[in-house]
Amino acid sequence: MSEPLPKTFLWGNSTSSMQTEGGVTEGGKGQSVYDVRPATDTTSDWRVAIDEYHRFEEDFDWMQQAGMTCYRFQISWSRVCPTGDGEFNEAGLAFYERQIAALLARGITPMICLYHFDMPLSLAKRYNGFMSRHVVDAFVRFAKVVIARFAAKVPYWLTFNEQNLYFTSGAFDIAGYLKGPRSLQDLYTINHHVMVAHARVANYLHATTTAQIGGMLAYEECYPATSNPRDAWYARQIDEFLNHNLLEMFVHGHYSSAVLQHAKQWQLTIDITPEDLAEFSQLRSDFFAFSYYRSHLIDSSRVPVNTPVNDYLDYGMVANPYTQANEWGWNIDPLGFRDILTTVYSRYHLPMFPIENGLGIREESTGDTEVQDDYRIAYHRAHIQALKDAVTQDGVDVLGYLGWGLIDIPSSSGNMDKRYGMVYVNRTNHDLRDLRRVPKKSFAWFQQVIASNGARLD
């Protein structure tokens, strides 16, 4: 048995509303952009998910039985404010009030995320999502109501899930953007508007509560594919544009100089107002949150000439022959996890909080037998050990470790076959079955890890 982690270390689970709740027509909920997406041959629709709307007490019991001490979940904007910018829905607020009370009763610290890709459909149709300043104002209005209602009981807050994704081509799929050329100009506009919204909400929370808030990134370690200096340079640029650009803002209140110069070279207009600068000047973060699943390689020879840095990975990402990967090509690289923890902490000296980590694997069961998921145990063991090495050998301050979807949920694409959980949910993409929860082999292993506060990983 090795040394345990600090006594204040948090262990837990992380999810989003659309991947858990279901109940899309219940309790006065308005439609989000996800609610109208149809099922496909390989994905489910979003009408039921894992029926958390009716079953959260049962799932919180599983979390408590595992020994978890933190749960990061999302407040659905369209459940709380059905049109996004109209009247608030008391039934929606009361639903989350019941969830928070149920978590606290089980000794589980709640952590709230305010936006996880599911823009209210009305705002997407009328304003094209975060392309519009009106939507920024509407989000801040929504956030203020939620903070005022819950901050006394919720110590940890996030604005946007994986905020750096709004600076990649994927931004157009998660920002409520329904029409337009998907241009580089539109990408920079969305990225800036999302950052303005984050700053305004973070500043409001700090001014009115004692709760803590941090920015969150989807952090993927990027290595050069070869010893070609250009590959190394592209990897460094990717890290600067997709990660440190926002970290500089979260910590120091300004964008990366390299990003601003890039925008100038591409003749892009960043809609920065004096009011934005005033908000940025007050911005601070209490911790840095991130998801980590995989690393990747960049092959600069695959990137066309005159490609903006934001799109490098769309052309140049290649598989790493030195790491294993699942069937969707997501590789396993715990050393990359340690490197992120150590490098970012050494540069910014902000407490680190990995709040998503996990391995998606196709698993089939009738719900009657225990899934023997030794591969998941091996994945989490290696990543927790990497975290412990960052703490004990590199001096990193880490607040906790939250796994992703530790009770099975549909993946971000809606694929129920890609399972991350330590508890099996008995449904498929197109057959809801009975939605029964059945612990996998990894559940008992995780109990042991938490009970020993990370000392026992065998």
Which of 52, 220, 221, 356 is the catalytic position?
A: 356
Indicate the CATH number for domain 10-218+351-451: 3.20.20.80
Radius of gyration of the chain (CA): 21
User: pLDDT at position 368, please?
Assistant: 87
User: pLDDT at position 1, please?
Assistant: 63
Active site residue 221: no
Residue burial 202-236, b: 16+ Cβ < 10 Å; e: rest: bbbbbeebebbbbbbbbbbbbbbbeeeeebbebbe
Which of 21, 52, 162, 363 is the catalytic position?
A: 162
User: pLDDT at position 367, please?
Assistant: 83
Long-range contacts at 367-375 (CB < 8 A, ≥ 24 apart)? 367/424, 367/426, 367/433, 367/434, 367/436, 367/438, 368/438, 369/438, 370/438, 370/439, 370/440, 370/441, 371/424, 371/438, 371/440, 371/441, 372/440, 372/441, 373/422, 373/440, 373/441, 373/442, 374/441
d(CA 392, CA 384): 12
The residue ranges of the chain whose pLDDT is under 50 are none
Quick one: how far is CA 303 from the chain centroid?
Answer: 28
User: pLDDT at position 2, please?
Assistant: 87
3 state DSSP class of 450: helix
Active site residue 162: yes
Is the distance from CB of 377 to CB of 458 less than 8 angstroms? no
User: pLDDT at position 393, please?
Assistant: 98
